[in-house]
Amino acid sequence: MISKLRDAFRTFGPFDGTLFLIGRLLAAATGGRCRIQRYVLVAQPVASVTLAGVARSASLEIRPVEIDEARTLAWDRPMEVIERRYRDGAFCLGAFMKGRFVGFQWAMVGPYEEDDVRSLFVPMPAGEAAWDFDIWVAPEYRVGRVFARLWEAMNANLHGRGVNWTMSRISAFAPDSLRSHARLEAARVGWSCYFIAGPLQLSLLSQAPFVHLCTSAERRPVLQVRAPTSF
Res 2 pLDDT > 70: no
Residues whose CB falls within 8 Å of the CB of residue 185, separated by 6 or more in sequence, listed in order: 44, 45
Q: How far is CA 203 from CA 81, 87, 162, in A?
A: 23, 26, 32
Rounded distance between C-alpha atoms, residue 184 and residue 131, angstroms: 15
Please state, for a pLDDT cut of 90, what percent of the chain lies above it.
73
* DSSP symbol at 47: P
CA 103 to chain centre: 15
The reply to whether CATH 3.40.630.30 applies to domain 33-230 is yes
Render pLDDT for 105-122 as a digit per residue (tens, 0 to 9).
999 999 999 989 999 999
Q: What pLDDT is recorded for position 1? A: 56
Render pLDDT for 156-194 as a digit per residue (tens, 0 to 9).
999 999 999 999 999 999 877 777 777 777 899 999 999
DSSP-assigned states of every residue in 15-29: HHHHHHHHHHHHHHH
